[in-house]
């Protein structure tokens, strides 16, 4: 009898994805080429807000090499083809949805106004330049706080597309009245781009033999997008096949349904030729969903010993010109994550989605969570300083203790109840401080301060949510060569899903991991799926795989027993073989086994994380150098430690870039100022320190894997912890950092401000009541 | 982001290039390293009708050092200059060139291309001003030499006429025994500098007998900081003298606010960089090692705890 | 522009490289060079970048386009022994040169030490920046086998990665350096 195969879950299995990719044999959408293909180019508005009076295509159509050119007037019923909201609808969003081409108004620089098609991509760009539009410019509405101003959508008269209230516990006014201290602060967070290294693209072809419309390029939420596309094209769902190629990073915005996701397939049907569209980087900066732009007012009530009582918060979220598929999710998650891993007696928040003449907003890694964590953790530091408490002490005092878990947080009559499941927040926080050597860091800081250095230490604690349902499906097939294929409806955005899920599948069956493969690439392989977002691929997708594998084993047992003519209880499963008592054996593959299953969950996993960072600020140039970055996260269960570590480190690096270097700005005419990698500065190796990462595993009880997600945890605390460290470096009261980013010239301004007393420009008020 | 259409021709001599530029008119452009021009073509911010590729011109790729000057052919790759050992008075070059763009861009980018392109934040123009460079321009049937002080007219604008080609740049050697240093600040490795400063100094019997200060990022072109130089010349180059000189440089700052950096911050940064460059140049004079604030091979600021191999 | 299209222009008669066709506004030329050790002649417009010629005409798509303005380095290839950004080189500029792309690193199928090190160090996630980093690293290590850690850090700071946070890439290159020095 063979020895049982050692389990691969929990081991740092090297990735199956790598072999092709390190050889340059990946197939990203730009590498897909179809015979007789033509090249599309989107013509985009150069004006932020205008009535669109006409789009002129005559010159474009006359240029040699132009195959076709279309504006809204060429697409029947385009005004009714609105890109729907997938999650988090809001009151008036139906009046602020985007059509694939602008019909009578343009509302952001980059909005598609026409699409042209040519024989090669160079000529397509020539043709696009021949298109011109007649517009009547309107003043742009750019500031989410300004009431009035230009109206973007007729039926949304004050540009407020919706709002979401949360409320919890005791009456907040009462808490404020009885508090020893109230801290009021306004924070502002800048606009970010996820900026995946691969721009978007699509290749669409109407297959002449099957009559199906095949589209390469979709990812993330393929099944939803297929349904939307079918609806917009008036086709039955099964006439469309979406194929996910290799994907050069997703981070949230890639894979949502954009105007191009309609236009390119429409062109393929219209022209009866394959159509290839590859976005360039300048387009990506104005077309890919932006994220994170908020102004947030927070008032916290506390006792003088640092006990938190309650808070009230208003978030004005600049959602851009249209409500995109992720609806008001970014703002909603701010409201749900403000309270974080702490005990409060009550709180209330209102998040408001405000339309602005900028690129629309979507979810970006740790959406709303990064922002809420920044605001709350900054406020805790300011409060701690004013109360004379160490920042670690105020957190320890208020972290939800282990014995209080699972901890339920009601968030109001029209909002969901949050349940924080397993974990031990105070113990993990102490572990972080021990790993970082907190006391030694403080001592060293004191020594360096004596020498005149501006050095700071920051901490932050947060909750990460993941494992969102409602379901995933999986199908497992025993192949003739002895391998097993698992089909799943999740997606890959480069995070290693093929390896981690293969480990889960292999372990469940009892074979070595090289005998399991995962396919997720197209919408045919599995009937339905939710996709890759909210840190759910391993936990929810993996659970579906486990159920399918168990079903496979049941099927094999039944089929094997039947083959042997014995009762089911008389056969034994050993890995992928069915054994009769008399020594007869048959393999799963010989039985041609396959099975499908569906895993459903309505739970959301909340996992604790904490981070510490040290920075030194160059007083002469304003440069912030991150010296140490230490994180401790609860990943539930690390299916593949290599992949988990990679996700946590990558998320931290992205967050460090986000607060210190990256900034999407607009001028007062609504013109974007950052449309290249020279202006939007992703960090290089020189700007990212060694990220020290450790984790605990408090398994989730809401899925079969126990995993809680690691894809977003790495970024969630990054903005807060760097901001806290910089504030500590600049100012003993830690009050000066209330907005992001912390680029050199801002830091120089803060240095100037903090050297005079009281710091000016700070709208922080601290009242003793 | 694909280039617009253009005609393209290679040439093999400076005279040929000049003839092609004359024929091509205002819309003809020279293609050397391409690290500045091709991105502009890709963005369609440059739309030349004719590209004249001068990469095959021989005799313009050289570095010749003698007592009085350092002459560099315009087509010398930045990487070549980076690899060339020079004596210590040319230290500012050794410090500046590794900060130009990135390792791969320096294999293509040329010394002459950087000067002719005249990006206001570029390093080599600052070196030209600091070292009092003389630039050779070849036109149709004539050749002239222009001094660096006169050469830079505005952002991306120089004295080069449409049918001229820069062929050589000769930097003047500082007085024997002088020291130079170069400081730059960019928010990210390899980026365009927000400001950069060249400092050259000689102390004889403790008195500053020669000083050169040049900077980029403080105005629409790189500048010679004449007021700052005057403040230092004849002084004992004390800390206070250096601070005064650095402040004089900063006060001449005429740059405007832009999205990346306010004018006020830029002048503060220039002040700081001038102070650091002057301090290090002085340090080299008196034999005190200075710590460079930015740049290569700096001891990593990461703690050694937990650092990978 | 008009004088250039005049067939009698003296410029036209000595145009180098020869224009073999004109399609619309495009002058088509032939570029002869060595691609991964094989002599190759390809036709494309003079305005085509090296990256596009490799990807579209030679159909080696391992060289990726992340920005097309010479910042991200995903398009890095090795030309005449030097790592360069193929998105800011014109295709015609490699006439007579030797060009190596990621596909040419392991012709026999056995992984180059840098490739193997990337795999073992988990130095890639989405893989889009990976060929560029690998070619940059191979170029550096071939030219400077004894590059110091600081030198490697400096050179690797040339390229962008959005997924890994870079440290695994640094580890991979140093590990490959050790293997290559044996």
Say whether both A352 and A475 belong to one domain: no
Domain carrying residue A64: 36-138+199-247+254-287
- Domain-embedded: residue A595: yes
- How far apart (Å, rounded) are the C-alpha atoms in residues C160 and C70? 11
Do you find a cis peptide bond into A470, omega within 30 degrees of 0?
A: yes
Percent of chain B whose pLDDT exceeds 70 = 93
Predicted TM-score of the model (pTM): 0.96
Per DSSP, the residues of B94-124 read: HHHGGGSS-HHHHHH-BHHHHHHH--TT-HH
Please give the DSSP secondary-structure letter assigned to residue C81. Answer: T
Q: Given an 8 Å threshold on Cβ–Cβ distance, is C64 in contact with A251?
A: no
* Same domain flag for A511 and A454: no
Q: Count of CB atoms within 10 A of residue B154's CB?
A: 11
Q: Are C21 and C45 in contact (CB under 8 A)?
A: no
| In-domain check, residue A50 | yes
Nearest to B2 among A122, A625, A661 (CB): A122
- Put simply, whether B52 touches A (Cβ < 8 Å) is no
Q: Residues of A with CB below 8 A from B272's CB?
A: 620-621
**For B165-190, what is each residue's pLDDT tens digit?**
999 999 999 999 999 999 999 999 99
Minimal Cα–Cα distance from C119 to chain A, Å?
6
Residue A408 burial (C-beta neighbours within 10 Å; 0-12, 13-18, 19+):
exposed
Specify whether A526 is located in the same domain as A411: no
Interface test with A, best of C63, C78, C101, C127 (most A CBs within 10 A): C127
pLDDT at residue C5 greater than cutoff 60: no
Task: Kindly state whether residues A616 and A748 are assigned to the same domain.
Answer: yes
Q: Which pLDDT belongs to residue B292?
A: 62
B112: left (phi over 0), alpha (psi -120 to 50) or beta: alpha
Query: Does a structural domain hold residue A419?
Result: yes
* Per-residue tokens: A352: 């408001």
Residues in contact with A561: Cβ distance below 8 Å, sequence separation at least 6, in sequence order: A567, A568, A570, A571, A578
Q: Do A685 and B189 touch (CB under 8 A)?
A: yes
The β-bridge partners of A692 are: A630
Contacts of C73 in chain A (CB under 8 A): none
**Nearest CA among A338, A314, A327, A415 for reference residue A363:** A327
End-to-end CA distance of chain B: 40
Domain C10-101 has CATH 3.40.190.10: no
In the prediction, which pLDDT does C178 show? 98
The count of domains in chain A is 3
Taking an 8 Å cut-off on Cβ atoms, the answer to whether C84 and B107 are in contact is yes
Cα–Cα distance measured from residue C133 to residue A197, given in angstroms and rounded to the nearest whole number: 13
What digits encode the pLDDT tens for the residues A721-762? 999 999 999 987 777 899 999 999 999 999 988 765 443 322
The CATH number for A328's domain is 3.30.365.10
Alpha-carbon distance C76 to nearest alpha carbon in chain B (angstroms): 8
Does the structure show a pLDDT above 90 at C108?
A: no
Do A116 and A226 have their domain in common?
yes
Helix (H, G, I), strand (E, B) or coil at A597: strand
C88 reaches A (C-beta below 8 A)? no
Radius of gyration of chain A (CA): 27
- Assess if residue A491 is contained within a domain: yes
What Rg, from alpha-carbon coordinates, does chain C have? 19
Which residues on B lie below 8 Å from C4 (Cβ)? 7, 24, 49-50
User: Does C49 contact chain A (CB < 8 Å)?
Assistant: no
Question: Which ipTM value was assigned to this complex?
Answer: 0.95
Q: Which of A532, A472, A499, A461 is nearest to A256 (CA)?
A: A532
Q: Is residue A155 part of a domain?
A: no
Phi, psi of A331, rounded to the nearest 5 degrees: -70, -40
Pairwise CA distance, residues A107 & A152, whole Å: 7
Q: Which residues contact residue A738 at a Cβ distance below 8 angstroms, ignoring those fewer than 6 apart?
A: A185, A186, A187, A188, A378, A762, A763, A764
pLDDT at site C3: 37
Q: Confirm if A21 and A649 have CB atoms less than 8 A apart.
A: no
Verify whether the Cβ–Cβ distance C23 to A642 is below 8 Å: no
Q: Would you say residue A110 lies in a domain?
A: yes
Q: What is the structure's pLDDT at B296?
A: 36
pLDDT of residue A4: 64
Residue B298 clears pLDDT 80, i.e. is over it: no
- Statement to judge: residues A216 and A310 lie in one domain: no
Do A623 and A542 share a structural domain?
A: no
> What is the residue-averaged pLDDT of chain C?
92
B297 touching A, CB under 8 A?
no
Helix intervals (H) in A488-633: 497-509, 542-564
| pLDDT per position as a tens digit, A223-277 | 999 999 999 999 999 999 999 999 999 999 999 999 999 999 999 999 999 999 9
Q: Look at residue B305 in the predicted model and tell me its pLDDT.
A: 35
A528 neighbors A221 (Cβ within 8 angstroms) = no
Nearest CA distance, C115 vs chain A (angstrom)? 6
Q: How many CA atoms lie within 13 A of A657 on its CB side?
A: 32
All residues at 6 or more sequence positions from A161 whose CB lies less than 8 Å from its CB, including other chains: A90, A91, A92, A93, A95, A96, A319, A323, A328, A353, A354, A355
Same domain, A298 and A401: yes
- The neighbours of chain C, by the rule of 3 or more Cβ pairs under 8 Å, are A, B
Cross-chain Cβ contact C105/A23 below 8 Å:
yes
Tell me A7's DSSP state. P
Per-residue pLDDT band for B25 (boundaries 50, 70, 90) equals confident
Helix residue ranges per DSSP H, A388-532: 391-398, 425-436, 438-450, 497-509
In a domain, A173, yes or no: no
**Helix, coil or strand: residue A473:** strand
Cβ separation of C69 and B31 shorter than 8 Å? no
Residues of chain A with pLDDT under 50: 1-2, 757-766, 768-769
The domains of chain C are located at 10-101, 113-180
Domains of chain B in sequence order: 7-53 (3.30.43.10), 60-172 (3.30.465.10), 179-303 (3.30.390.50)
CA distance A31 to A8: 33
User: Three-state DSSP class for C117?
Assistant: helix
| A438 shares a domain with A311 | yes
Contact of C159 with chain A, judged by CB distance below 8 Å, is answered with yes
What CATH number does the domain containing A66 carry? 3.90.1170.50
| Residue A654 and residue A542 share a domain | no
pLDDT of amino acid A148: 66
Residue A226 near residue A529, CB atoms below 8 Å: no
Q: What is the pLDDT of residues B42-62, one digit of tens each?
A: 999 999 999 999 999 999 999
Cross-chain residue pair C124–A677, CB shorter than 8 Å? no
pLDDT for the residue numbered B14: 95
CA distance A543 to A504: 9
Scanning every residue of chain A, which has its alpha carbon at the shortest distance from the alpha carbon of B293?
A618
Q: Does domain C113-180 have CATH number 1.10.3720.10?
A: no
Structure-block tokens of residue B95? 């410090």
Longest dimension (CA), chain B: 66
| Residues A344 and A447 occupy one common structural domain | yes
Chains near B with 3+ CB pairs less than 8 A apart are A, C
Residues A615 and A589 occupy one common structural domain: no
């Amino acid at each position: 009898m063979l020895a049982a195969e050692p389990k691969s879950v929990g081991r740092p299995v090297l990735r199956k994805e790598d072999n092709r990719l390190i050889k340059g044999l990946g197939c990203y959408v730009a590498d897909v080429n179809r015979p007789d293909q033509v090249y599309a180019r989107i013509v985009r508005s150069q004006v932020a807000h205008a009535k669109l009076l006409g789009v002129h295509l005559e010159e474009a159509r006359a240029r040699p090499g132009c195959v076709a050119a279309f504006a809204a007037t060429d697409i029947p019923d385009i005004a009714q083809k609105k890109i729907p909201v997938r999650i988090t609808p809001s009151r008036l969003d139906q009046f602020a949805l985007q059509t694939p081409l602008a019909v009578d108004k343009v509302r952001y620089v980059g909005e598609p106004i026409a699409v042209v098609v040519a024989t090669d991509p160079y000529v397509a760009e020539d043709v696009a330049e021949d298109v011109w539009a007649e517009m009547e410019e309107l003043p742009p509405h750019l500031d989410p706080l300004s009431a009035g101003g230009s109206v973007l959508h007729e039926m949304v008269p004050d540009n407020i597309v919706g709002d979401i209230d949360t409320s919890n516990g005791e009456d907040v006014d009462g808490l404020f009245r009885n508090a020893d201290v109230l801290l009021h602060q306004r924070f502002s967070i800048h606009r970010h781009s996820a900026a995946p290294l691969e721009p978007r693209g699509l290749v669409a072809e109407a297959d002449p033999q099957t009559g199906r419309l095949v589209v390469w390029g979709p990812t993330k939420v393929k099944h939803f997008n297929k349904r939307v596309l079918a609806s917009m094209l008036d086709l039955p769902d099964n006439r469309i096949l979406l194929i996910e190629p290799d994907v050069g990073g997703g981070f949230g915005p890639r894979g949502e349904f954009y105007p191009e996701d309609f236009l390119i397939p429409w062109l393929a049907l219209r022209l009866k030729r394959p159509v290839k569209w590859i976005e360039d980087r300048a387009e990506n900066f104005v077309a890919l969903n932006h994220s994170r732009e908020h102004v947030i007012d927070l008032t916290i009530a506390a006792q003088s010993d640092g006990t938190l009582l309650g808070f009230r918060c208003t978030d004005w979220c600049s959602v851009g010109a249209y409500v995109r598929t992720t609806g008001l999710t970014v703002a909603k998650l701010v409201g749900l994550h403000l309270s974080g891993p702490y005990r409060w007696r009550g709180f209330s928040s209102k998040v408001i989605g405000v339309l602005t003449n900028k690129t629309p907003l979507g979810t970006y890694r740790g959406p709303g969570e990064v922002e809420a964590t920044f605001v709350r953790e900054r406020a805790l530091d300011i409060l701690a300083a004013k109360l004379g408490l160490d920042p670690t002490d105020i957190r320890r005092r208020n972290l939800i203790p282990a014995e209080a878990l699972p901890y339920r947080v009601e968030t109001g009559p029209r909002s969901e109840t949050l349940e924080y499941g397993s974990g031990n927040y105070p113990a993990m926080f102490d572990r972080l401080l021990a790993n970082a050597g907190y006391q030694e860091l403080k001592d060293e800081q004191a020594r360096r301060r004596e020498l005149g250095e501006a050095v700071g230490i920051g901490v932050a604690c947060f909750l990460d949510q993941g494992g969102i349902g409602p379901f995933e499906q999986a199908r497992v097939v025993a192949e003739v060569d002895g391998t097993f294929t698992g089909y799943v409806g999740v997606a890959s955005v480069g995070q290693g899903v093929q390896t981690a899920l293969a480990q889960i599948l292999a372990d469940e069956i009892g074979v070595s991991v090289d005998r399991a493969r995962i396919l997720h690439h197209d919408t045919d392989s599995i009937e339905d799926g939710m996709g890759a977002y909210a840190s759910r691929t391993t936990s929810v997708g993996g659970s579906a795989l486990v159920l399918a594998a168990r079903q496979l084993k049941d099927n094999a047992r039944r089929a094997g027993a039947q083959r042997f003519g014995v009762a089911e209880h008389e056969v034994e499963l050993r890995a992928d073989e069915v054994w009769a008592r008399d020594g007869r054996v048959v393999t799963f593959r010989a039985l041609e086994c396959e099975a499908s299953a569906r895993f459903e969950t309505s739970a959301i996993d909340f996992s604790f994380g904490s981070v510490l960072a040290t920075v030194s600020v160059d007083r002469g140039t304003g440069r912030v150098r991150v010296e140490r970055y230490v994180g401790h996260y609860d990943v539930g269960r690390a299916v593949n430690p290599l992949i988990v570590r990679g996700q946590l480190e990558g998320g931290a690096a992205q967050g460090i870039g986000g607060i210190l270097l990256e900034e999407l700005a607009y001028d007062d005419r609504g013109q974007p100022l950052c449309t290249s990698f020279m202006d939007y500065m992703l960090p290089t190796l020189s700007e990212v320190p060694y990220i020290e990462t450790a984790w605990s595993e408090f398994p989730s009880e809401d899925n079969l894997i126990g995993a809680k997600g690691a894809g977003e945890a790495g970024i969630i605390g990054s903005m807060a912890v760097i901001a806290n460290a910089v504030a500590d470096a600049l100012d003993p009261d830690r009050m000066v950092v209330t907005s992001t980013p912390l680029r050199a010239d801002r830091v120089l301004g803060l240095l100037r401000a903090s050297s005079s007393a009281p710091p000016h420009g700070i709208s922080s008020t601290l009242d003793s009541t | 982001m694909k280039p617009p259409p253009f005609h393209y021709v290679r040439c093999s001599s400076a005279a040929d290039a000049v003839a092609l530029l004359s024929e091509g008119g205002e819309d003809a452009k020279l293609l050397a390293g391409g690290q500045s021009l091709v991105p502009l073509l890709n963005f369609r911010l440059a739309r030349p009708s004719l590209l004249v590729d001068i990469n095959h011109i021989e005799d313009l790729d050289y570095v010749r050092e003698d007592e009085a000057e350092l002459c560099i052919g315009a087509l010398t790759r930045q990487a070549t200059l980076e690899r060339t050992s020079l004596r210590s008075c040319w230290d500012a070059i050794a410090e500046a060139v590794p900060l130009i763009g990135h390792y791969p861009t320096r294999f293509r980018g040329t010394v002459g291309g950087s000067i002719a392109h005249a990006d206001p934040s570029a390093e080599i123009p600052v070196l030209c001003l600091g070292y009092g460079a003389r630039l050779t321009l070849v036109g149709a049937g004539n050749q002239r030499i222009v001094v660096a002080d006169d050469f830079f007219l505005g952002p991306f604008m120089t004295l080069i006429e449409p049918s001229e080609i820069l062929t050589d740049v000769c930097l003047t050697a500082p007085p024997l025994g002088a020291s130079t240093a170069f400081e730059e600040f960019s928010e990210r490795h390899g980026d365009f500098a927000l400001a950069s400063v060249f400092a050259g100094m000689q102390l004889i019997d403790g008195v500053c007998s020669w000083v050169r200060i040049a900077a980029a990022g403080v105005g629409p072109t790189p500048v010679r900081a004449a007021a700052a130089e005057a403040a230092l010349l004849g002084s004992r180059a004390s800390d206070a003298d250096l601070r005064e000189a650095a402040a004089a440089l900063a006060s001449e700052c005429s740059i405007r606010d832009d999205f990346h950096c306010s004018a006020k911050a830029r002048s503060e940064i220039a002040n700081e960089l001038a102070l650091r460059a002057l301090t290090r140049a002085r340090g080299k004079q008196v034999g005190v090692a200075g710590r460079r604030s930015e740049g290569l091979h700096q001891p990593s600021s990461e703690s050694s705890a937990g650092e990978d191999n | 522009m008009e004088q250039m299209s005049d067939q009698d222009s003296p410029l036209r008669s000595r145009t180098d490289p020869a224009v073999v066709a004109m399609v619309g506004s495009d002058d088509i030329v032939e570029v002869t060079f060595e691609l991964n050790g094989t002599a190759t002649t390809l036709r494309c417009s003079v305005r085509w970048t090296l990256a596009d010629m490799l990807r579209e005409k030679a159909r080696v798509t391992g060289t990726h386009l992340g920005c097309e303005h010479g910042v991200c380095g995903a398009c890095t290839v090795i030309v005449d022994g030097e790592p360069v950004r193929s998105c800011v080189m014109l295709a015609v500029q490699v006439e007579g040169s030797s060009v190596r792309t990621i596909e040419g690193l392991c012709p026999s199928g056995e992984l180059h030490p840098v490739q193997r090190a990337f795999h073992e160090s988990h130095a890639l996630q989405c893989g889009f920046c990976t060929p560029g980093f690998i070619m940059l690293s191979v170029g550096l290590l071939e030219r400077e086998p004894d590059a110091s850690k600081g030198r490697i850090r400096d050179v690797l700071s040339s390229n962008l990665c959005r997924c890994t946070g870079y440290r695994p890439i640094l580890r991979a290159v140093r590990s490959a350096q050790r293997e290559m020095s044996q």
